[in-house]
Structure formats: structure tokens, C-alpha cells
């Protein structure tokens, strides 16, 4: 049998992160003492009041189809969050709840982009964006940045990349994989260019709450009515509420785009899981008391990891201002990032994600969503590894 794979599916790159991850997991299963810095998820448990709300939903028989874009109660709670925390006025009809923030991103790209369209993506980027653009049949235009500018694109860079075919600019602050956070002034300046040129912005704000050193998050939608009209905000429950496995995310969009996305979703996944949505209401409307504790813990780990990385010969690392990642520069090791990570795992049993997966081969991604003890143990091993490279 000759299985014909569609052009859309065949064009996708298999995930490098998954390759490293499955190798690390196999080593762990074989009893090896692997330290994992690969995780893209919090190591904290979902807060109890959120779990109990979902359990209650199940017990009460809330187990049937819901409206495809989410239950009114949750869409109203999300609209209230945008009003309360971001000063943004959305109608519940502009909010679409999906099966994870990743699904929200995919819906946005599928509903707005097609063959012939260009999507501008700053690198280092979250690795799914370019693949989603491919799936929509559109073309990615990647803007390079480096640690010298804290991985931020400038308005001039953005302006120079815009063509008559540009449809969407993807902004992700705080950023996965770098932890970089744009200041409000920087966000506004990028938004100004998009407004002037009539380019839509997909603003992925899923790490909004995870900020350090007094960094401030301001949504690009908040600067003027024109900014608001050009922006689609993607967000979700995975990071600030540690709900990665629940598959629950949301977006806020101008009405015609929300309508189109609802149509796409109604014919693909239908509604996000009914009782998970009950948990979502508790997450967004209930106590946020867990957050200061988590942030204090992340901040401690970040500082320690940053110190240990910068003490390694040939490694330099700018400190992150958000999310739970550091993105050290390993260029002076003389190794490509995939090689570096493969050998680090092989020799020292430390798993990290090669920067090439995010479009930046001079770096690796270290997630500090793991205990301080793990950070010290794993980075001590990495220190030995890079010192060994220097000798050879
Ligand atoms: C984690 C993450 C998401 C969404 O994750 P879900 O688990 O699908 O909610 C979206 N964007 C970025 C940059 C992320 O790191």
C-alpha cells in the first residue's frame, strides 16, 4: 500500500524537544539518574479549589456537550478578568475557550491566514508557531534577535519586514523560550507599526502573571482603540494555574474573527471539556493566593540557575524577567545546540532543549520549573561538561 501523506502534514518538522524528552524519559525508566531541564510546564500541582470545582462538575453530571466556544459562565468570567486586570472591554461573544492555549493559537492562524500570506515571527520563537503557519498554507518571516538585545525585535526591524502580503505579527511576552519581557513602551511601539500598516497582532500572553524584578506586563491591545482592533490575545490556564493537562485555553478577538474561529472550532474539536471549564471558572474567578508563593519559588530558582550558568566557562546568560526559562548562550563551546544537548544528556544525564528548536542555534533552553536541589545538581554536572569541552 502506498500511503499518500498530504502536503500539509508532510511539511511539518518532527519536534526536536520531543526527541530529547523521550530519550531522557527512556533513560529515567532504565533507572538512570537524569536531571530534567526540558519541562515546559510548572512543577506545582493545580490548586485544590480548582480541582474541586471540576470534581463537583463531574459529580453534578456536567458531562455533556457545551456551546462550542465555551460555557457562558466561563466566557463572562474571562471577559471580567480582561476588564479587571488589563482594562480591556470584551463582550463574552468575543471570547473563545479552546482545548489549550496552543489550540487557541492554531485557531487564530487558521482563521486569519492562508496561501500567499506572510506571518512575522521574532526568533527565538515558541516552536509551534512556524508549524502552525505551514499548516495554514502561509509563510513565516523570521526576525532574528540575540541576547545582546534581550531577544527583543525593534520597531524598525518589524517595519522593514512588513510587505503587502503580511497578515499577522506574533508577539509573545513574557517569552518562551527566552523569558524576555518587553516593556510597555516597547510593546506600544511595535503595536504602533502594526496599526499604521494594518497588520493584525496575535499576542500570546500565557505567561502574563509570571514576572520578576518588577517587570511589568501590558497588553498591546490596551494602548488605543486602534491597537485593540488590531489585536487577538491568546491566553490559557496552563502556566499561572498549572493546568497543562486540563487542555484549557482562551482567546479574545474582534467580533468577526471570534465568529470565524467559533466556526472552525465547532467543526473540529467542538467544545473544550465540560467539567474542565468548571475548573476554569474557579481558576479565573477564585483565589489567586497560590501565585505569590509560586513566584517567590521561581524567583529563587531563577537567580540560582542564572548565577551557576554564568560561572561556567564559555557560557553566558542574560537574566530572564518572566516565564520560567533561561536561555544561555553556548556558542563558545564550539558545538551546535543539538549536539551540545545530546552530549550533555549522554555524558552527564542532564536534559535541556537545543536552541535550534526555537530558531536560535547558539543557545539552549533551561527550564527552572524544577526544584532548587535539581537545579544545583544538574548545573553542577553541566559545569563539569563544559569544562571537559574546554580541555578537549
Ligand atoms: C505553554 C504555552 C502555550 C499554551 O499551552 P497549552 O498547554 O496549550 O495551554 C502557548 N504559548 C506558549 C508560548 C506556551 O509556552
Residue ranges of the domains in the chain? 7-46+290-391, 52-285
pLDDT at 372: 97
Q: Is the pLDDT of residue 22 over 90?
A: no
Q: Is the pLDDT of residue 13 over 90?
A: no
Pocket of ligand 1 contains residue 249 by CB under 6 Å: yes
DSSP track, 234-277: EEESTTTTT-GGG--EEEE--HHHHHHHHHHHHTTT-SPPHHHH
Confidence of residue 39 (pLDDT cuts 50, 70, 90): confident
Q: Is the pLDDT of residue 21 over 80?
A: no
Question: Ligand 1 centroid to 311 CA: how many Å?
Answer: 31
Residue 322 three-state SS:
strand
Question: Ligand 1 centroid to 238 CA: how many Å?
Answer: 7
pLDDT at 148: 96
Q: What is the mean pLDDT of residues 98-115?
A: 98
Q: Is the pLDDT of residue 208 over 80?
A: yes
Question: Given 3-state DSSP classes, what are the helix, strand and coil percentages for the chain, each rounded to the nearest 5?
Answer: 50, 15, 40
pLDDT at 34: 96
Q: Is the pLDDT of residue 25 over 90?
A: no
pLDDT in tens, 41-84: 899 999 999 999 999 999 999 999 999 999 999 999 999 999 99
Confidence of residue 24 (pLDDT cuts 50, 70, 90): confident
pLDDT at 246: 98
| Distance separating the N- and C-terminal Cα atoms of the chain | 50
Question: Ligand 1 centroid to 101 CA: how many Å?
Answer: 5
Question: Ligand 1 centroid to 358 CA: how many Å?
Answer: 14
Pocket of ligand 1 contains residue 47 by CB under 6 Å: no
* CA–CA separation, 32 and 14 (whole Å): 26
User: In this structure, what DSSP letter does residue 125 have?
Assistant: -
Q: What is the mean pLDDT of residues 243-258?
A: 97
As its CATH architecture, domain 52-285 has 3-Layer(aba) Sandwich (3.40)
* Domains 7-46+290-391 and 52-285 fall in the same CATH topology: no
Contact 322, 173 (CB under 8 A): yes
The x, y and z cell numbers of residue 351, run together, are 536534559
pLDDT in tens, 119-134: 999 999 999 999 999 9
> For a pocket test of ligand 1, which of 107, 203, 206, 277 has the largest count of ligand atoms closer than 8 A to its C-beta?
206
* CA–CA separation, 46 and 100 (whole Å): 15
CATH number of 7-46+290-391, picked from 3.50.50.60, 3.90.1150.10, 2.60.200.20, 3.10.28.10: 3.90.1150.10
Amino acid at each position: 500500500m502506498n500511503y499518500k501523506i498530504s502536503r500539509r502534514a508532510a511539511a511539518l518538522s518532527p519536534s526536536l524537544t520531543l526527541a530529547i524528552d523521550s530519550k531522557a524519559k527512556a533513560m529515567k525508566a532504565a533507572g538512570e539518574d537524569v536531571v530534567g531541564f526540558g519541562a515546559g510546564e510548572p512543577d506545582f500541582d493545580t490548586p485544590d479549589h480548582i480541582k474541586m470545582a471540576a470534581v463537583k462538575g463531574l459529580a453534578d453530571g456536567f458531562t455533556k456537550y457545551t456551546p462550542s466556544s465555551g460555557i457562558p459562565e466561563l466566557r463572562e468570567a474571562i471577559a471580567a478578568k480582561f476588564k479587571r486586570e488589563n482594562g480591556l472591554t470584551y463582550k463574552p461573544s468575543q471570547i473563545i475557550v479552546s482545548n489549550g492555549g496552543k489550540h487557541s493559537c492554531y485557531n487564530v492562524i487558521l482563521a486569519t491566514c492562508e496561501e500567499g500570506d506572510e506571518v512575522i515571527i521574532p526568533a527565538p520563537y515558541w516552536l509551534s508557531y512556524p508549524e502552525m503557519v505551514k499548516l495554514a498554507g502561509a509563510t513565516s518571516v523570521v526576525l532574528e534577535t540575540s541576547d545582546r538585545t534581550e531577544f527583543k525585535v525593534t520597531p524598525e526591524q518589524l517595519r522593514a519586514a512588513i510587505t503587502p502580503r503580511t497578515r499577522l505579527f506574533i508577539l509573545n511576552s513574557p517569552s518562551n523560550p527566552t523569558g524576555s519581557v518587553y516593556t510597555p513602551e516597547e510593546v506600544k511601539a511595535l503595536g504602533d507599526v502594526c496599526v499604521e500598516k494594518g497588520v493584525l497582532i496575535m499576542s500570546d500572553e500565557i505567561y502574563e502573571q509570571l514576572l520578576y524584578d518588577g517587570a511589568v506586563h501590558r497588553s498591546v491591545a490596551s494602548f488605543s482603540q486602534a491597537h485593540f482592533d488590531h489585536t487577538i490575545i491568546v491566553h490559557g490556564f496552563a502556566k499561572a494555574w498549572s493546568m497543562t493537562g486540563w487542555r484549557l485555553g482562551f482567546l479574545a478577538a474582534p467580533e468577526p474573527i471570534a465568529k470565524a474561529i467559533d466556526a472552525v472550532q465547532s467543526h473540529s474539536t467542538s467544545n473544550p471539556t465540560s467539567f474542565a471549564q468548571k475548573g476554569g471558572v474557579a481558576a479565573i474567578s477564585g483565589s489567586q493566593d497560590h501565585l505569590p508563593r509560586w513566584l517567590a519559588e521561581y524567583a529563587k530558582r531563577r537567580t540560582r540557575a542564572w548565577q551557576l550558568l554564568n560561572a561556567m566557562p564559555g557560557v553566558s546568560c542574560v537574566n530572564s524577567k518572566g516565564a520560567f526559562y533561561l536561555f544561555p548562550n553556548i556558542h563558545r563551546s564550539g558545538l551546535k545546540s543539538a549536539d551540545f544537548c545530546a552530549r550533555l544528556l549522554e555524558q552527564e544525564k542532564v536534559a535541556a532543549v537545543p536552541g535550534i528548536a526555537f530558531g536560535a542555534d547558539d543557545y539552549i533552553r533551561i527550564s527552572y520549573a524544577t526544584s532548587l536541589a535539581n537545579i544545583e545538581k544538574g548545573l553542577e554536572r553541566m559545569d563539569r561538561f563544559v569544562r571537559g569541552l574546554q580541555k578537549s
